[in-house]
Copies of this chain bind each other. A is one copy, B any other.
Amino acid sequence: MATIKDIAKLCGVSEGTVDRAINDRAGINPETKKRIMEVVEQVNYKPDRIAQSLAKGKTRTLGLIFFDLNNDFIAALVDTIETIAKEKGYFISLVLTHGIKEEEIKGINYLLERKVDGIIVFPVGKQSDYQELKINIPVISIYNKISDEIPYVGVDAQSAMRDAIGYIADCQYERVILVNSSITKKVKSGLNVYTLQERQKGYIEGIEKNKINEGEGSLIVEGLDFRRMDALYRQGQGKKTAFLCICDVFALEVLTHFREQAIRVPEDVGIMGFDNMSIRKYVSPQLTTLGYHMTEMAQKIFAYLMDMIHGSDIPKDTSFPCQIIEGNSL
């Protein structure tokens, strides 16, 4: 690979002059510039971004930290961010944690050593974990809030869930069972359960407000505990029951579970998800779910990160509203 030095030698000028030509800097004779640029073309010069990064202290690389790519709304988010970033000349370094806190810490340290200009993280760690990391670059946390200092962008999960219960109630359901992730276990392991908790809070508010589960209170299943789901379902004694699931993947699992037992959806039991995964349109009955504008959100996240990188302040807390996406599962 040809370097600036090579070109300088080839043209009989100094490295500084070549730099002026290449980077359109002022103070260079158009003639000289033209001559240099011809050589640049000839030798197919490509800048060494590593050297540039070292010299400038900026890498034009963004770090992305996610659980995994199995949820297609995460994949969509990564996709959108990558596309915008590339447009703006930024690169994406991807780190997957699989929900393991140690992996997240390791990943962040890696990104810090790699001198990325900013980080977007769907965190599994909490404030205390992040304090120890001493992060000195812009960070935006999404879905899970870390602290009041680290900007957060997410969805208004709480009111979404509350509204969902209202919608379910309107469909004449008398009971709504929440299928959450194994939140208790996660809390015990010191993991960040912000969005799970928000969703659960919304559920609890919803059942109170809509007089759902009368005499039973909140009915929560943690994890895909089908046995408990069956028990809770039967306990309803013919009352119209729905399962509100923390995410579409869970909803699809529950749907499949009941289908295998010849319990019909929505005739015998209602199901609702959260995320608006693209695949929900392929299942029958089509899943009713909660969605939001993923592309818009991704754009906002990227724009915010750019603002931070350029030294501007951004709101500490941004939430996108959710909409009920009607299907036939209720």
Within 8 A of B (CB), among A22-72: 44, 46-51, 53-54, 59, 61, 68-70, 72
Seed contacts A69-B72, A283-B283; 18 additional CB < 8 Å A-B pairs: A46-B112, A46-B113, A50-B59, A54-B54, A69-B75, A70-B72, A82-B94, A82-B95, A83-B98, A86-B95, A86-B96, A86-B106, A86-B110, A92-B95, A253-B282, A256-B282, A283-B284, A284-B284
Complex: chain B residue closest to A92, CB-CB: B94
Residues on A facing B (Cβ under 8 Å): 1, 44, 46-51, 53-54, 59, 61, 68-70, 72, 75-76, 78-79, 82-83, 86, 91-96, 98, 103, 106-107, 109-110, 112-115, 134, 136, 252-253, 255-256, 259, 278-279, 281-284
Residues of B contacting A78 with CB < 8 Å?
Answer: 69, 94
Contact A50/B54 with A79-B96, A283-B284, A284-B259 known, Cβ cut-off 8 Å: yes
Tell me whether B113 and A48 are in contact (CB under 8 A): yes
Complex: chain B residue closest to A98, CB-CB: B83
Q: Name the contact of A91 in the complex, choosing from B1, B50, B93, B253 (C-beta under 8 A).
A: B93
14 contacts between A and B (CB under 8 A): A46-B113, A47-B113, A51-B54, A69-B79, A70-B79, A72-B75, A86-B103, A86-B106, A252-B279, A256-B282, A279-B279, A282-B282, A282-B283, A284-B284
Q: Tell me how many chains of this kind the complex includes.
A: 2
Most chain-B CB neighbours within 10 Å: which of A48, A113, A279, A282?
A: A282
Majority-rule SS of A interface residues: helix
Residues of B contacting A107 with CB < 8 Å?
Answer: 86
In the bound complex, CA of A284 to CA of B281 (Å): 12
Contact A70/B59 with A114-B91, A259-B284 known, Cβ cut-off 8 Å: no
Task: With both chains docked as a complex, state the minimum distance between the C-beta of A307 and any C-beta of chain B, in angstroms.
Answer: 23
Task: With both chains docked as a complex, state the minimum distance between the C-beta of A206 and any C-beta of chain B, in angstroms.
Answer: 26
Residues of B contacting A82 with CB < 8 Å?
Answer: 94-96
Residues of B contacting A134 with CB < 8 Å?
Answer: 44
Residues of B contacting A72 with CB < 8 Å?
Answer: 69-70, 72, 75
